[in-house]
Chains A and B, each alone.
Chain A
Amino acid sequence: MNTDDLQQKNARLVRNLVLVVVAMFGFGFALVPLYDVLCDITGLNGKVAATAAKEVVYPIDNSREVTVEFITSLNESAPMLFRPETKKLIIHPGEYYTVNFYAENLTDKPMVAQAIPSISPGLAAEYFKKTECFCFTEQTFKPHEGRTMPVRFVVNPDLPKQYKTITLAYTFFDNTKTQ
């Protein structure tokens, strides 16, 4: 093969391979929305809707009891106090309940914080509906302000039979710096 031909062939091949590289770099980023869509559809990973659910009337299943546990934690030791006022509740699917959480800013400065919910087992997440939650928006705290915040929720009676305990965990992230 003469040299010019070979150079042309190499150039064409290299160009195509570089395109593959660029495409795969893009694919890495495309995984981000793909992952979110997949988690939204399936409710995997305990990811729950970040917006309020409509208040729908469900038939109340009084024959069934589900334990709902509430846990709180702070991300990277955010300077806050954060606790559930109710630790555990035995509920009937279909009935609406309200529980309170208490959070306090321990610093001398105003604070912006965001609570992130997670539900375990993850597959129960899509049956757990919140109509009111402090986690839907960022919360602003004045210096040393403490506040009681309600969460109103219902467990859809379609919840599969094997789920007897659902844990709702909140983590508060201190977002003050990123504002």
Chain B
Amino acid sequence: MSTTLLRTFQPNQFSLLGTSLLRRRRSNNFSVRFCGSQTTTTHEAKQSSPTRVAPKNHKSNKLDEILRDYEAVIGIETHVQLSTLTKAFCSCSNNYGSYPNTSICPVCMGLPGALPVLNSKVVEFGVRLGLALNCDLSLKSKFDRKQYFYPDLPKGYQISQFDIPIASGGYVDLDIPLEFGGGHRRFGITRVHMEEDAGKLLHSDTGDYSQVDLNRAGVPLLEIVSEPDMRSGIEAAEYACEMQRIARYLGVSNGNMQEGSLRCDVNISIRPIGQAEFGTKVEIKNLNAFSAISRAIDYEISRQALLYNQGKADQIVTETRLWEEGAQKTVTMRKKEGLADYRYFPEPDLPEVILTKEYVDSIRASLPELPEAKRRRYEAMGLGMQDVLFLANDVSVAEYFDAVIGKGAEVKLAANWIMSDIAAYLKNEKLSINDIKLTPQELAELIAAIKDGTISGKIGKEILFELLAKGGTVKGMIKAKDLVQITDPVEIEKMVIQVVSENPKQLEQYRSGKTKLQGYFAGQIMKMSKGKANPGLLNKILLEKLNAKD
């Protein structure tokens, strides 16, 4: 998902600053330090990265020079909305898109006397994600109250975890797509904690009031806090992508950014290269797409670097900025006056969350193969990085691919079918790979049928689309449509002789030098064989006949 999204960036979608920055980042890739976490990889850089290079722009040269002197320090807070059936602390359904204020009860409405009761699934998901992010788990964690007044927060406090999160001290490994310079990265995970979501506020454009929908109030979230290990917009976007991927692999969230199921707040500061202490930290919110993360950060890096360069570093203040998608820039939302005091204290209404070793072990045992492990396995199978990233990107695609090769299909061929024709079909039909009727078993059959010459590649493609849409078996379809490739030279020769004799004029032209006409003959013969003639054999015999001196 991420990769494809990033791949669809058009250079002109970037602001001037963004473009030049992106270019700079790529060219400087190996000079940037990655907190000692960059691991050496054996990726071949054989694929040439598609387009992306923006035309050299003189105006951006100066900025490029400025940017070269600074290093960005980026950390991300990711909120993952969990796909539980019920809310975190009450039994109301956790449904996106319900009619406003219908999925409510005394607990999530904060009625007097109502008490929270923790959903066991939230703990399970917290442990799953914690393990997937290589964290240490707290066998005894607790909930705390984070207090502030807001109309979308019914109780006047959010139940969250403050000083003892369920998981902490982990990391995530990912691969930067080749078109962005490639390379393997490891980013630290500070912590993962459980908390509840707030409701939704709608601001009417006309009226002098706001509206509150509390359906979302109390929906469970896992907040993932990264170490400040990222150095560019691309890294940050790839990190966010990997969070989405992991959440989807684990089945803990649908990770949908548009619905707000995955939300990223970015903390960013820059400092002159070589300086040890961090610069002033700015928070960016309202990042609703991975591309927005990347562009907002690159914009912000440029903005801050320019201020530094112009001696206006004091104008970089601790604040929250909003990404404005339309204007492609960040704007001040509010300045922070000192640290907000949320008056955290332990939530007395909830017992501590106790994890037993057996429980953790059972969850560990049930974890699926995670994206990083998948990528390394695919790489070891000999697939190129582009294929690896494509296949491992979507868990359903990866599972499909694994099933196909599990049925014995050749790895590279299976990858090609999935990445080209099937991917195109999915895109056109707006389907997911889970929707298609072609089973992995049959794709493996199809690949085998082509490989062993039972059918031609061309016929293979034709029946692929029928199998995708209608299902059925490859063998059945070959039989029903009589599609078995003609590989008998005698039979092909008969057709060649017939076609050649029926086209004396073309034969004459061919023999007088218009050798391109071979294609014409081949087409006619293929047509006669209803596409079943083995193309190699056909051409071999055709050439013999055309060039024969009779």
- Chain B associates with chain A: no
Q: Identify the B interface with A (CB < 8 A).
A: none
Q: Identify the A interface with B (CB < 8 A).
A: none
